[in-house]
Amino acid sequence: MSSHTPVIVVHGGAGTVAPENHAAAIAGTRAAAAAGQAVLLDGGSCEDAAVAAVRVLEDDPTFNAGRGACMNRDGDFEHDAAIMRSRDLRSGAVASVSAVRDAVLLARLVMEQTPHCLVVGVGAAALARAHGVGHFGRDEVWTAKAEAAHREVLAGRASADNRADTVGAVALDRHGHLCAAASTGGVLHKLPGRVGDTPLCGAGFYAHPGLGACGTTGVGEAILTHVLAFEALRRASERPGEAATIAASLCAAASRHHNGAAVGLILVRPDGEVAIVHASEHMSWALAIGDAAPISGLRRDLSPGT
């Protein structure tokens, strides 16, 4: 039997969270962490825990994933999602999938049922349908909030920049295995076909037995240029106990190089050390260690080691 204390960390996106969503973002991330924690305490795998947490967030219209995803420039929904496990370094991701409520399940399908790492668009939807996975259709994902945001940007009354609410989770299970999972509608008003960091291994997510698991969030163009998820894990492994400080400086650098774009990440190392950091006004987050009640917030002050 293993002696690892289970850990789950979730985020609800780096950026600016609208004031009317503050309470919902904190409650939603806490509920997601609780769902993942329940799986871990029950002896479940890190994959099951991370997916359970992301599914809660995909179903919560507060967040930019699944139901509640933002629209692209044409008013359509295009989703990206990913998952990776440390156990065998398998990963799966989907990108640019039209109107799907549970894209993280498609990513898991790619990881578990195909020899591939990334499947996009109609191919990903066809794969999912062939396996009876996924809830598809505009009605599954449309929200009045997304419609309003799209119209505001179209009318020039609001900026599409640095909106938050993408979702992700990282988990460490009792066996010491690690997993990262994420789901997003991408960035508001993106060009049709645009893909960010979320489904890109090494940039948006990574999991490795010796390094840990990491998920990123924020403006994908800033993040993928810096291969942020892998780089944060690699650098943190060089200075155990300083993961938060190291990750914060990487997020700040990526943000600086991209005109102050929102950048954030969550990370758990094989020894259970956690980092929750962001260079952005907000990043809703929640953390559950062992059987302690999950804690959550809308910002994270830098406190190394926690």
Residues annotated as catalytic are 166
Which residue, 129 or 257, has its beta carbon nearer to ligand ASP?
257
Query: Is 184 near ligand ASP (CB under 6 A)?
Result: yes
Smallest separation (angstroms) from ligand ASP to the CB of 264: 8
Does 68 participate in binding ligand ASP (rule CB under 6 A)?
no
What is the total count of residues that contact ligand ASP (CB under 6 A)? 14
* 198 part of the interface to ligand ASP, by CB under 6 A: yes
Does position 44 interact with ligand ASP (CB under 6 A)? The reply is no
Q: Would you say 40 or 213 has its CB closer to ligand ASP? A: 213
Q: Is 181 in the site for ligand ASP (CB under 6 A)?
A: no
| Minimum CB distance to ligand ASP, residue 281 (Å) | 13
Q: Is 13 in the site for ligand ASP (CB under 6 A)?
A: yes
* Interaction between residue 37 and ligand ASP (CB under 6 A): no
Taking CB under 6 A as the criterion, which residues in 138-177 touch ligand ASP?
164, 166
- Of 203-262, binders to ligand ASP (CB under 6 A) are 217-220
Of the two residues 97 and 164, which places its CB atom closer to ligand ASP in the complex?
Answer: 164
Six-digit token string for 37 = 């924690």
Minimum CB distance to ligand ASP, residue 198 (Å):
5
Residue 186 lies near ligand ASP (rule: CB under 6 A) = yes
SS (HEC) of the chain: CCCCCCEEEEEEEEEECCHHHHHHHHHHHHHHHHHHHHHHHCCCCHHHHHHHHHHHHHHCCCCCCCCCCCCCCCCCCEEEEEEEECCCCCEEEEEEEECECCHHHHHHHHHHHCCCCEEEHHHHHHHHHHCCCCCECHHHHCCHHHHHHHHHHHCCCCCCCCECCCEEEEEECCCCCEEEEEEECCCCCCCCCCCCCCCCECCCEEEECCCEEEEEEECHHHHHHCCHHHHHHHHHHHCCCCHHHHHHHHHHHHHHCCCCCCEEEEEECCCCCEEEEEECCEEEEEEEECCCCCEEECCCCCCCCC
Counting contacts by CB under 6 A, is residue 62 touching ligand ASP? Answer: no
Binding of residue 36 to ligand ASP (CB under 6 A): no
Binding-site ranges for ligand ASP (CB under 6 A): 13, 15, 164, 166, 184, 186-187, 196-198, 217-220
